[in-house]
Structure 1
Amino acid sequence: MLDYIWVDDAVFDLRPDFAVLVMTAHGLRNGPTDERSRAWLAATSRLEAQPDKIDAWKDAYRAFGAKPQRTRPSVDALTRRLPLPEINQAVDAYNSISVKHALPIGGEDLDHYSGPARLVRATGDEASEEALGQPEPGEVIWRDDTGVTCRRWNWRQVARTRLTEETTNAIFLLERLEPMSLDELKIAGEELADLLSELSPQVRIASRLVSSGK
């Protein structure tokens, strides 16, 4: 899967500084929020805001015609919901890392994917869940062979690939814009891997960086 994930040149034309660290986790043991994952969420409430990183995502949304005040980048929406909601252990893990680094992160069930994930500019006729709505032409979307998996870059994911307590194989998309450095992106990935390994000592994690230079 990792080798086949790609980002369209049209997205890099929009934001040449974009990079995504793609991580897969096989053999995950997920479950309902517990004291450990609850502590991860609680720790985010003590963190300082990082408006420069969030502002970069607002600018990226405006570049393809979205209004970030109406459909907020995922990390902006998360930081406005502190304390973070309890979802399940794996979601709690990546949400806590997302807020810590002001880094949009998507987590999805790999077994519910059809073909590889790719980030593209929408044509406007992609298949999409009714609750998510139809993407507009030029909108940045994640998709697979079936259709849209996340609209407006990282605004909202489909229910089809949602991480649940039954998920055993997952994919995580850690999306970076400047001023976040690639070094910090790598650190965030390592921290997420550590949390997932706490949840599932037997989990097998692999990662790949996709950027305009690769």
Structure 2
Amino acid sequence: MSRAAQLQKLADASYIDPAIFELRPDYRAVLLVVDGLVPGASNEASETLLQKAEASARAALNEQKVESLPHVAAWRAAYQGFGAKPNRTRNSLEALLRRAVTGLPRVNRLTDIYNAISVLHQIPLGGEDLSKYSGPPRLIRATGEEPFDTASNGETVIEHPEPGEVIWCDDEGVTCRRWNWRQGRRTQLQDETTTALFILDALDPVTTDALQAAAEELATHLSGLGPDITITDHLITKTTLT
């Protein structure tokens, strides 16, 4: 089996529990698997994209508060639906938009690109090192027993999600808590990452076409990060599970 076929098989094996669609029937996700990445520091291209995203955020927030932006408001409501407090645990989109006003972080060209696409398209977008995964990614409601590796005061600690919390996980434990709030350390992107998984999330009023357009733009920028890039994607909606 070719490398591309292996990656497509992994993407296709990703799973969203029907309980998620009971909570939010309008939820959709695109999973983008990218192989052959050549690690590199932030560069002129990623800087230009970040500046474009920052200008986009400032323009949007000149019109209304961040929590009133339609997709941010939808995610705040989704968080409340499983018992999270959106003022305390902000989804990744809201957190980035708030930072964009004064300046997005410059990390490396891979992270810079996906942060910029998240802000430009106003969708939550997470990036993971797929080589650190054990089994396919799954979105479920937690039992509360799943381990989540994080840090506190500079020390590694293992936490557990609240029962019923929406989490991304694999066979070893939680990879991202509260849907798209905080990623675990085990699978986080590193400077040496060569195979990555990107998860793009959408709720109404973002359309499936708009979600796929964001995935396509992300893929376009990532395709320039190496001479032998392979990209596969998988769209999951409520109807794809029926």
Q: Which category of TM-score, normalised to the shorter sequence, fits these structures? A: over 0.9
Superposition pairs of residues 175-190 of structure 1, within 5 angstroms: 175-190=201-216
> What is the match of residue 37 of structure 2?
28
What amino acid maps onto 1:211 in structure 2? T
Give 1 or 2: higher helix fraction: 2
Paired residue total:
214
> What is the match of residue 38 of structure 1?
47
> What is the match of residue 122 of structure 1?
142
> What is the match of residue 138 of structure 1?
164
| Conserved? CA contact 1:104–1:154, under 8 Å | yes
Q: Which runs of 5+ in 1 are unaligned?
A: none
Alpha-carbon distance between aligned partners in 2 of 1:124 and 1:164, rounded to the nearest angstrom = 28
Alpha-carbon distance between aligned partners in 2 of 1:182 and 1:167, rounded to the nearest angstrom = 29
Alpha-carbon distance between aligned partners in 1 of 2:181 and 2:159, rounded to the nearest angstrom = 12
The structure 2 residue matched to 1:16, chosen from 25, 35, 51, is 25
| Conserved? CA contact 2:14–2:138, under 8 Å | yes
1:67-121 CA distance string (max 9 Å, x none): 0100000000000111110111111111100001110011101100000100000
The structure 2 residue matched to 1:73, chosen from 66, 91, 94, is 91
Alpha-carbon distance between aligned partners in 1 of 2:199 and 2:39, rounded to the nearest angstrom = 18
Point out the structure with max Rg over C-alpha. Answer: 2
What amino acid maps onto 1:70 in structure 2? R
Deviating runs (4+, > 3 A) in structure 1? none
Given the two structures, how large is their TM-score scaled by the length of structure 1?
A: 0.97
Q: Percent identity?
A: 49
Of stretches 127-136 and 77-86 in structure 1, the one that deviates more from structure 2 is 127-136
- 1:200 positional shift: 2.1
Alpha-carbon distance between aligned partners in 1 of 2:208 and 2:98, rounded to the nearest angstrom = 25
SS at match of 1:172: strand
Given the two structures, how large is their TM-score scaled by the length of structure 2?
A: 0.86
RMSD: 1.1
- 1:201 positional shift: 3.8
| Conserved? CA contact 1:88–1:164, under 8 Å | no
What amino acid maps onto 1:41 in structure 2? L
What amino acid maps onto 1:55 in structure 2? A
> What is the match of residue 63 of structure 1?
81
Residue 89 of structure 1 pairs with residue 89 of structure 2? no
Alpha-carbon distance between aligned partners in 1 of 2:170 and 2:197, rounded to the nearest angstrom = 13
Alpha-carbon distance between aligned partners in 2 of 1:183 and 1:193, rounded to the nearest angstrom = 15
Q: Which runs of 5+ in 2 are unaligned?
A: 1-9, 61-65, 152-157
